[in-house]
Amino acid sequence: MSVNINIPQLRVTLAKLNGLQYDHATVERICQDAVMYGNVAIFAYGSLIWKTIKHVSEMIPNYKLAGYSKDFICEDFIYRGTTGFPGLTLALKNDSNKHVLGFLLMSTADEIIPFLEGFILREQPVSIDGVTMDIYRYDFLPITRPDGSTRNALTCVVNEHSQFYVNPPLPLNQKVARMALAFGDNGTNLQYLKNLISKYDEHKLYDKCTEELKDLLNKCNDYRLTLSPAHREWLEGYDTFQSSQDRQIYRNTYQGNGLPTNEELTTMMNEA
């Protein structure tokens, strides 16, 4: 299918993605793919599944990316954590023995640029201090369709050069504590994990990482039960709000309730 796409503008937009600014060959492959299919595709395996970006024309489940695993290996100091106590977010890492299931998100030809701009804004957020959460690099990887054919898609892979890449990974007990305690602009870190597992179950996205994530959720829920009633109730209350503005107002009640400081949260995590 041949369509009229503003290729120069598409090149400029793609160059905003970390890892593509100097990878002209991959940018050209994406441009050629856009002309051929009349859209640009994104592989979604995390929060894009339940809270997607604008200008999505199709959202199709059960696409498979081979040779990668997913885990909570990046710090999140905006959406599900703070600079004082970051949460953890999901990323992909090379693993020849595993595969990841997810959704393919696609735009129409006349919405490619706003579709990608929304993707960039979502996945490369900047804090109020001007720090970019550069936890991902972006690749154009072959995703297998349910019928066995393939389509290349933009994919968030861990940026191993980011200061927010957690390497070596946290011990499981510390990962559990951090995710059970952290909260940010979009809600608690535990809510993110619950949403993820809920969508995996809803769409039967059972890959080789799913059981590990379900075990992580169970352990996080158990850890929450060890907190003081006031602390646990505050975290549960935080997730009842629907907007970041309301959450921010609620956050102002945190210290007034005598709940742990960032330093105390860090101690709790280290001693878990």
Query: Could you give the CA distance from residue 200 to residue 174 in angstroms, rounded to a whole number?
Result: 24
Per-residue buried b or exposed e for 203-228, using 16+ beta carbons within 10 Å of the residue's own CB: eebebebbeebbebbebbeebbeebe
Reference 5, options 29, 30, 53, 38; nearest CA is: 38
Question: Are the C-beta atoms of 144 and 153 separated by less than 8 Å?
Answer: no
Sign of CA dihedral 160, 162, 167, 169: negative
Query: Could you give the CA distance from residue 64 to residue 252 in angstroms, rounded to a whole number?
Result: 42
The pLDDT assigned to 228 comes to 94
Q: What is the pTM of this model?
A: 0.94
The pLDDT assigned to 2 comes to 52
Three-state secondary-structure class, residue 63: strand
Residue type, 80: R
Query: Could you give the CA distance from residue 27 to residue 15 in angstroms, rounded to a whole number?
Result: 8
List, for the chain, all residue ranges whose pLDDT scores fall below the cut of 70. 1-3
The pLDDT assigned to 8 comes to 96
User: In what helix (H) or strand (E) does residue 187 lie, and over which residues does it extend?
Assistant: strand 187-188
What CA dihedral angle connects 31, 35, 39 and 41, to 10 degrees?
Answer: -40
Three-state secondary-structure class, residue 99: strand
